[in-house]
Amino acid sequence: MKLVRFVNFLIVISVILFFDGCKKKQQNTAINPATIGQITLQMTDVMVHDVTNPPLSSRFFSYALLAGYEVVAQNDSAYESMHGKLNDFPVVSKPAVENYAYQLAAALAMLETAKKMQPSGALLQKYQDRLLDSCKTLGFDEETIAGSQQYAVEISKQILKYAKADKYNRISNFPRYEPKGAPGTWFPTPPGYFPPVEPFFGTIRPFTLNAASQFKPEPPVAFSESKSADFFHLMKMNYDDKNDNAEHQVIAAFWDCNPFALENKGHLLVGMKKISPGAHWMGITDIACKQAKADFGKTLLVTTSVAIGLMDSFMTCWDEKYRSNRIRPETAIRKYIDPTWRPFLQTPPFPEYLSGHSVISASSAAILTHYFGENFAYTDTVEERFNLKARKYNSFWAAANEAAISRFYGGIHFMDAIDNGVIQGKEVGNWVIGKLGGSKGKSLAEVSNKSLVN
């Protein structure tokens, strides 16, 4: 009997040591924080493929990142769930999975969510396969990989349910938005004369805002055909700019980010592949996180915060666009000053006031400055793959202000839409930070590293 007990004791000790050894081995196998930026880049490529509009792009980014972030929050005590911070965000149940690597599960949860939400999301499967192959090379065993996948799928299902409840899918049931036809109101512009983009985006559930109209700006300068009116002076500012300053053209092109741009090819109009303005700021976020050497959790926190800010910023901006419904410079100047005038950039297909670039850039700058500080110098290489040279900035606000004024240089926005857009974007960005509360009230630098695998 004593011999049997002794043998059983040895077996128990062996099992404990075995699993303890496996745990220690797997704890040293981390997922590169740059994987988060790689996933948002892959999502961006799918958006370019699908010609996803700017507001909708922010929605895709937000939910995918939320899926990844909730995995981290369940496994790292330095981070809190978004429950109680975001509107109607549920208590996300932790999957009953024993063997998984939570960083891998977080990355896979992002991919699983994006694959389901993006029209061509299936294209992300190739990247996911490469990611899993790299994990095998790093030393992840099959059981851990399978458990991480199971964990990711179960988290993604809960986030997708939350996404469906934002009522975006009901927009297709709304009556078709038609131009008003009144003087001073928006009308489709050449060369594509596209219908208005996302006229009802402000009706869906925001993440942190009380309502899309929460930061309603002051009204735009009143339309008037009189040459002595303030509106005519706004038109003259755009007209007199002449669109011929070489540096201004470089700035305008760098921040163009127009997914709807067309190019004349003889008798054909060919679509030009470009990222959305939100995707550009997601790229900037990736650059900042890498430069700051942020770890996996920190990178996911910052990137998720920026994505949420983009979504709520687009909502506030689009709410105003379809309220004021103001005419674009291209339409106004050609009708009231010079019928041959053309802007340097193509006019996007939606009303003019406010400037979307101004709003979302200011919001992103406010959030990134919160995490990285006022004087975070960096080089923006996001547009290099679209054959545009990198630009250097001394701060996120320097970049945001340049992005805003680029819309004037491009001839597609009036100055009051730019100035008031920056104001609204800053208000939204500060509001988002206040609602999210950082990570348990800690600054980015104070968030500690935790174990990587359960």
- Output the average pLDDT for the chain: 90
For position 274, what pLDDT does the model report? 86
Mean per-residue pLDDT, 125-140: 95
Quick check: 348 and 258 in contact, CB under 8 A? yes
For position 29, what pLDDT does the model report? 61
Band (pLDDT 50/70/90 cuts) for residue 326 is very high
For position 242, what pLDDT does the model report? 82
Band (pLDDT 50/70/90 cuts) for residue 452 is very low
Kindly tell me if the per-residue pLDDT of 312 is higher than 80. yes
Helix (H) or strand (E) holding 265: strand 262-265
Q: Which of 185-199, 261-275, 296-310 has the weakest average pLDDT?
A: 261-275
Give the CA radius of gyration of the chain. 25
Q: What is the pTM of this model?
A: 0.91
For 134, list phi and psi in degrees, rounded to 5: -65, -35
Q: In terms of pLDDT, which residue wins out, 341 or 274?
A: 341
The 3-state DSSP class for residue 60 equals helix
Angular region, 309: left φ>0, alpha ψ -120 to 50, beta rest: alpha
Mean per-residue pLDDT, 339-364: 97
For position 265, what pLDDT does the model report? 62
Percent of the chain with pLDDT over 90: 83
Mean per-residue pLDDT, 267-294: 88
Q: Which of 8-22, 145-159, 401-415, 423-437 has the weakest average pLDDT?
A: 8-22
Q: Which of 44-58, 256-270, 421-435 has the weakest average pLDDT?
A: 256-270
For position 49, what pLDDT does the model report? 95
Mean per-residue pLDDT, 122-140: 95
Verify cis geometry, omega within 30 degrees of 0, for the bond prior to 191: yes
Q: Which of 204-208, 210-214, 243-247 has the weakest average pLDDT?
A: 243-247
Band (pLDDT 50/70/90 cuts) for residue 267 is low
For position 420, what pLDDT does the model report? 98
Q: Which of 104-108, 392-396, 442-446 has the weakest average pLDDT?
A: 442-446
For position 219, what pLDDT does the model report? 97
Give alpha helix (H) positions in 242-328: 246-254, 277-291, 296-324
Kindly tell me if the per-residue pLDDT of 383 is higher than 90. yes
For position 23, what pLDDT does the model report? 40
For 448, list phi and psi in degrees, rounded to 5: -90, 160
For position 273, what pLDDT does the model report? 72
Band (pLDDT 50/70/90 cuts) for residue 437 is confident
Kindly tell me if the per-residue pLDDT of 310 is higher than 80. yes
Mean per-residue pLDDT, 75-103: 97
Band (pLDDT 50/70/90 cuts) for residue 271 is low
Mean per-residue pLDDT, 8-32: 46
Kindly tell me if the per-residue pLDDT of 9 is higher than 80. no
For position 17, what pLDDT does the model report? 35
For position 269, what pLDDT does the model report? 53
The 3-state DSSP class for residue 161 equals helix
Quick check: 11 and 435 in contact, CB under 8 A? no
For position 151, what pLDDT does the model report? 98
Mean per-residue pLDDT, 240-251: 92
Angle at 11 between CA 6 and CA 15, to 5 degrees: 150
Mean per-residue pLDDT, 379-403: 97
CA distances from 85 to 93, 135, 315, 352, 363 (A): 17, 33, 18, 32, 18
Mean per-residue pLDDT, 289-310: 98
